[in-house]
Chains A and B, each alone.
Chain A
Amino acid sequence: MIGEVSLLGMLVYDLIIIGGGPAGATAALYGARTGLKTLVIDKGLTAGAAGKAGQIANFPGLGPLSGTDLVRRIREQAVSFGAEFVTDKVLRMDLSTDPRQVWAGQGVYRGRAIIIATGSMGRSYHLPGEERLVGRGVSYCATCDAAFFRGQEVAVLGNNDEAVEEALTLARFAARVHFLSPTSDLHASPELAQELTAHPKAALRFSAQVKEILGDGQVEGLRVVSPEGEEFLPVAGVFVYLQGNVPVTDFLEGQLPLGEGGCLLVDENFQTAVPGVFAVGDVLCRHLKQAVVAAAEGAVAAIAADRYLHGRTQLRPDWSR
């Protein structure tokens, strides 16, 4: 798949931002307004911590509003200055090339500067059987792998926008999509939830805990515990979108040094160890997890990225003499 040059791959962005929460969306607002060709790759409005927050009362200037509303407003503002948003999932990156390359479910994106704003809702554990069966029926990307499951039964584990969108993608191919939400409700936008609920191929289950992924060399089914009891659910594929509370840095595959717990380390301009690659928000070590702090960091990183791209270096006196 990597050998193919997609149409998207032909474009080179000045700035690619991974994650569209308060940090990423503010970076996009600043990047686009400064004139950088800016792309945000994001998994969906409710995929991050802000999108899940009930009420935010202490974002200065805005009364109590939901986290989803806050993020939506900042994104709208970024779009008004020309930023592009795409709903996609970053699988891996190559930070050593120029431009840098970002592989996501729908194609390859290229950008000269990168801001990582992926937050800290990554998973710290795997389900029994999960690692063993990755690529053998276990997947994290329906856009990539849905076609392999044409006419078969699959399961989606999760409850947010990303999980619902991926389930809808799968429903175009699979015979049946078992949607197993670990919670008693969906944390997705009402429109998406409605679409999934009404879909003839989708079977929704709530408070469903997957205890194990079973199969001998290939996924054969799941051991599921739900209010109805424990059961074996036979499926050929399982798509996992569960969330936890660790920084989302797995797609970096060791290209940047990580602090304890997998968080990212940056300098005072939010630049990582790789020049032109920045990180902001909850993915950082010892972050305060406040929307306005994340937004401030996004603004700084975008200005720093612009200076990196245009040689608009910091105002340090006499450095070139």
Chain B
Amino acid sequence: MLDFKLAPSQPEARPSEEGVYDLIILGGGPAGLTAAIYAGRARIPTLVVTGSLPGGQLANTDRVENFPGFPEGIDGSDLAQRFVAQAERFGAQIVHDSVTGVDLSVQPFVVRTYAATYRAHTLIIAMGAVPRRLGVPGEDRFFGRGVSACATCDGFFYRDKRVVVVGGGDSAIIEGLYLTRFAREVVVVHRRDQLRATQIHQERAFANPRMRFVWDSVVEEILGDKTVTGVRVRNLKTGETSVIEADGVFIYIGMEPQTELFRGQLELDERGYIVTDRRQRTSVPGVYAAGDIQDPLYRQLVVAAGTGAVAAMEVEKYLEMYPQNHQG
């Protein structure tokens, strides 16, 4: 393990041309902040532009049980603060601002925010993905506290309870089936009269005694006072509304990786995620991506952190290999 020692023969912090960073990290969630910790440890002059929500999705998460190293669990906002403090301790400069544009066709790369324009020799893009929301009353208030978009993260909290899953695609059905391991009943609310999910998953879902389906219906409101108590649904064919009692609501109507700014500049997959290789490299040399913005499959806090660490170590190698890229 190299964790415990500094990289050999550390160069002093590189003198950089005014306003040009060796590394700018876009995004202040677990991936971006872990990248900042690693970059700081390697003494790479680093700027983190956090975006509108420092801590990312973590800041909106009530309780984290599955981040390794916290046997008692930890509040999402507390963990986010620990990440920030650790990154700052290692020398990262953190600004609370949002990126409005980038130019990846010039070296150094250009990053524009509301407040300033920055330039950098390398970038790590870690702006995350946001679960598509229903946009109904109660959703924002209970998000992370009864409303979730991650069964792997939160399914455990619903042992012997009833949950509602919104959606009819593969994610909704696969994660709904997963939730039947914990919940006594999983009610799938879908706006059509049949599922979009692949056949084998549909068959499993229909065969599962804990799954129930409410067809042709949309959720109009998430109900509850201090905790979620149910949802009000409207049948699109009859117009009738009814209430389904539930302790939790899982929304699977898609994720949106925050990649609009990069369209046309970086290779994206058909769903809009940044395409990376195992070393977190994107289609543009010197530009790396980490966390959920390049991960449609796993979307786990520790996985995001791991990719952030890899990206920062790759940046370190890149800067050493191409010294002409930074004004030394």
Contacts and interface: CB of A to CB of B under 8 A. Distances in A.
A299 B69 contact: no
A296 B200 contact: no
B232 to A, nearest CB: 29
B303 A299 contact: yes
Secondary structure dominating the interface of B: helix
A314 B304 CA distance: 18
Contact of A26 (B65, B68, B174): B68
A311 B306 contact: no
Given A57-B41, A60-B83, A312-B177, A303 B309 contact: no
Interface in A278-321: 282, 288-293, 295-300, 303, 310-312, 314-315, 317-321
B68 A315 contact: no
Contacts of A55: 4
A265 B303 CA distance: 19
A58 B306 contact: no
A90 B160 CA distance: 38
A58 B87 CA distance: 9
Interface in A220-269: 268
B135 interface: no
Interface residues of A, number: 55
Nearest to A319: B198
16 contacts: A25-B68, A49-B1, A58-B41, A58-B90, A77-B68, A291-B3, A292-B302, A292-B306, A295-B305, A296-B305, A297-B306, A299-B66, A299-B303, A303-B152, A315-B171, A320-B198
Contacts of A312: 174, 177-178
A16 B34 CA distance: 30
A288 B177 contact: no
Nearest to A54: B4
Contacts of B206: none
Contact of B199 (A282, A298, A314, A321): A321
Interface in B162-179: 170-171, 174, 177-178
A109 interface: no
A304 B70 CA distance: 23
Contacts of B49: none
A299 B298 contact: yes
Nearest to B58: A61
Interface in B149-191: 152, 156, 170-171, 174, 177-178, 181-182
A295 B302 contact: yes
Q: Chain B interface residue count: which class? A: 35 or more
A288 B200 contact: no
Given A58-B38, A61-B79, A77-B71, A299 B302 contact: yes
B294 interface: no
Contacts of A296: 300, 302-307
Given A26-B68, A58-B90, A295-B68, 17 more contacts: A30-B66, A53-B1, A53-B3, A53-B4, A60-B30, A60-B34, A60-B308, A60-B309, A67-B4, A292-B302, A293-B306, A293-B309, A295-B306, A300-B298, A303-B152, A311-B204, A312-B178
A50 B41 CA distance: 18
A56 interface: yes
Nearest to A315: B170
Contacts of B170: 315, 317
Interface of A: 22, 25-26, 29-30, 33-35, 49-50, 52-63, 67, 70, 73-74, 76-77, 80-81, 268, 282, 288-293, 295-300, 303, 310-312, 314-315, 317-321
Given A34-B152, A35-B181, A299-B300, A61 B1 contact: no
Given A57-B4, A315-B171, A73 B69 contact: yes
A70 to B, nearest CB: 6
B310 interface: yes
A63 B71 contact: no
